[in-house]
Amino acid sequence: MKRKQLLYIVFFLFCSSLLQAQVTFKSKVSKKRLGINERLRVDFEMNQDGDDFNPPDFAGFRIVGGPHQAISNSWINGKRSYSKTYSYTLSPKAKGKFTIGQATINIEGETYKTTPISVEVTAAVKKSKDGSNADYLASENVHLVAEVSKTNPYLNEAITVTYKLYVSHEVSITSNWREVDTPKYADFWSQSIDSRGNYNIYDGTFRGEDYRYVVLRRTVLYPQKTGKLEIEPLSLDIPIDVKSNRRDIFGRRLMTRVNRTISAGRRTIDVKPLPEEGKPINFNGAVGDFEFGISSNKTKLDANEALELSVKVTGDGNLKLFDLPKLKLPSTLEVYEPALEDNIKTKVKGMTGSKVEKYTVVPQFKGNYPIRPISFSYFNPKAEKYETLTSEEVLIEVENGPLTAENTDNTSAVTKQQVTLDKNQFKYIKLNANLEAIEKAHFFKSRTFWTLLGIPFLLIPLAIVVGRKRKARLADVEGNRLRRANQLAKKYLGEAKKNLGNQEAFYESLERALHNYLKAKLQIETSDMSKAHISNILLERKVEMGVVGNFTDLLKSCEFARYTPTSNVTIKKDYETAVTTISNIDKQFQ
């Protein structure tokens, strides 16, 4: 019994030491470089509760907010997750470099300290970068970058453009972003090598800070012109969730969503021309590293029996952008047009694989037919020089068949006959022709002349009728207003309609459409406004109470749909209600 109790004690001490080793206490700042007219947020976070929290003295800063305390305690799959954070808002007193010192806390009898953080305070900035502003936080914590594998390639040399979306740990995003501008890659042969929608999250750094990132797309480019070529930017519209200044009843910060359009920016590629020095005469634009050869499926056969000759290039390079050299065969061989077969894949570093032209050849006579070697030249960008490969000679032996004319016996004499002329030999040729003059036709007063002259007089009444109908349409104020309202509703709800079969995507698109509509209509930011405020504004603009109620009900549906399942019938009904509501608001809005 005592032995069993001893094992329990040892196990308890082991678990306690394991928990003790897992204690973390760290500090974070909202930025490491700020203007003297900006503010700094400092968070001290721990994963176990403690006592006697002692913050640093914040030398060089003035405390303008805090400490705010936030506690998160949850159980997921039987595993406890705990977090406690003390937050301060600081205002710098002077320019220079300062250090946020160590904070201390006592957890289960042990004292833990944070790591000091260096912060630089610069001169005042023109636009204050407020760390509590949602738009500013979104712009500072999400970045789209286009990484180019090589900015100074040769003509037809492969380069890869990788688009990475960097997201800091301060914000979060969903995958429901959409492309606003897609690069066209003018003057490049291009191929995207990644399927969209399957994204892996990686840990990395951006501007010296820890970030998460996803690779959105990789595109392989082969420049088709020399000089400075521009790669158009990729632009995305992204919903970003950032921490707001509001807190829930447990002291945790609430998230607010903002939509931002971010761009990777233009990239310039300086393409070098291929050197003229040492360029072979038979060079046809191949750039890369290749192997070349000719092969035959048979070298011995009979006359009128077919064989297949293959001209093959394998390797890495612009395989789809050049032609294979042509075979030179004896005239006594019957040759058909070659069939092209390729097995080319596009990977991160460019095209790789093989390209083959297969010739069907049918010999007509007995004999030996040598297939003379041919050459293939290409430019190797790694070695920066031209290289020429020459195939081996292939000998075709036709064992059975007729001999050619040169090999037949020419001893038989040819009988020559004298040509006699007949008086009727050229009788079919008409020597006396009866030619008649063709009278010149006149355009004036012809049927074509009167037709062209009468067409304008026929178009004038038609133009008058069309003009009257257009004028009547423009005078129909109520009808025009109704048509504009319906067009506006369809414009803002177009994306939601595409996602009718997906509840989460539909309601996110619907909520964004409603907010964007109010933003365009009222010139206000709706992300920080309550439904009651929105209702008051619409009522002041003479919108009927029922229409306003429908609008706020739609906003509620968008919020509830995040947590509760909804049927397809309800989704379709909400979409139809949204179309009608936006149309009615636009008609009644004053």
Q: Among the listed ranges 8-17, 132-141, 370-379, which one has the minimum average pLDDT value?
A: 8-17
- Please determine whether the domains at 136-271 and 478-588 fall in the same fold group of CATH: no
Average pLDDT of the residues in 516-533: 66
Q: What pLDDT, on the 0 to 100 scale, is given for residue 507?
A: 80
Q: Is beta strand 110-113 parallel, antiparallel or unpaired with respect to 117-122? A: unpaired
Average pLDDT of the residues in 535-561: 81
Q: What pLDDT, on the 0 to 100 scale, is given for residue 476?
A: 67
Give exposure, 104-135, as e/b (b: 16+ Cβ within 10 Å).
bbebeeeebebeebebebeeeeeeebebebbe
Q: What pLDDT, on the 0 to 100 scale, is given for residue 303?
A: 85
Longest dimension (CA), the chain: 144
Q: What pLDDT, on the 0 to 100 scale, is given for residue 319?
A: 92
What is the CATH architecture of 136-271?
Answer: Sandwich (2.60)
Q: What pLDDT, on the 0 to 100 scale, is given for residue 412?
A: 39
SS3 10: helix
Q: What pLDDT, on the 0 to 100 scale, is given for residue 249?
A: 62
Is 71 a residue whose pLDDT tops 70?
Answer: yes
Identify the residue whose tokens are 């026929």.
458
Residue ranges of the domains in the chain? 17-128, 136-271, 288-377+384-403, 478-588
Which residues, 6+ apart, have CB-to-CB distance to 307 below 8 Å? 296, 297, 298, 301, 360, 361, 362, 363, 396
Q: What pLDDT, on the 0 to 100 scale, is given for residue 137?
A: 78
The listed range with the strongest mean pLDDT (125-134, 370-379, 504-513) is: 370-379
Q: Is 60 left (phi over 0), alpha (psi -120 to 50) or beta?
A: left
pTM of the model: 0.50
Q: What pLDDT, on the 0 to 100 scale, is given for residue 200?
A: 82
- What single string gives the DSSP state of each residue in 209-223? EEEEEEEEEEEEEEE
Q: What pLDDT, on the 0 to 100 scale, is given for residue 437?
A: 62
Tokens of 270: 């300086």
Instruction: Please provide the average confidence, as pLDDT, over all residues in the chain.
Output: 80
What is the CATH architecture of 478-588?
Answer: Up-down Bundle (1.20)
Q: What pLDDT, on the 0 to 100 scale, is given for residue 201?
A: 85
Helix (H) or strand (E) holding 397: strand 394-398
Structure confidence at residue 413 as a pLDDT band (50, 70, 90): very low
Edge to edge, the sheet with strand 79-92 lists: 25-29, 40-46, 79-92, 61-76
Q: What pLDDT, on the 0 to 100 scale, is given for residue 389?
A: 94
Identify the residue whose tokens are 């206490």.
25
Q: Among the listed ranges 172-176, 221-225, 507-511, 550-554, which one has the minimum average pLDDT value?
A: 172-176
SS3 assignment for 240-286: EEEEEEEECCCCCEEEEEEEEEEECCCEEEEEECCCCCCCCCCCCCC
- The alpha carbon of residue 410 and the mean position of all alpha carbons in its chain are separated, in whole angstroms, by 74
CA torsion, ordered 418, 423, 426, 430, to nearest 10 deg: 170
What is the CATH architecture of 17-128?
Answer: Sandwich (2.60)
Average pLDDT of the residues in 298-308: 88
Structure confidence at residue 93 as a pLDDT band (50, 70, 90): confident
Q: What pLDDT, on the 0 to 100 scale, is given for residue 344?
A: 92
Is 9 a residue whose pLDDT tops 90?
Answer: no
Is 426 a residue whose pLDDT tops 60?
Answer: no
Tokens of 421: 């002329």
Q: What pLDDT, on the 0 to 100 scale, is given for residue 314?
A: 95
Q: How much of the chain, in percent, has pLDDT values that exceed 70?
A: 79
Residue 42: beta bridge partners?
A: 29, 88
Is 166 a residue whose pLDDT tops 80?
Answer: yes
CATH code linked to domain 288-377+384-403: 2.60.40
Is 397 a residue whose pLDDT tops 50?
Answer: yes
Structure confidence at residue 197 as a pLDDT band (50, 70, 90): low
Edge to edge, the sheet with strand 394-398 lists: 300-301, 394-398, 367-371
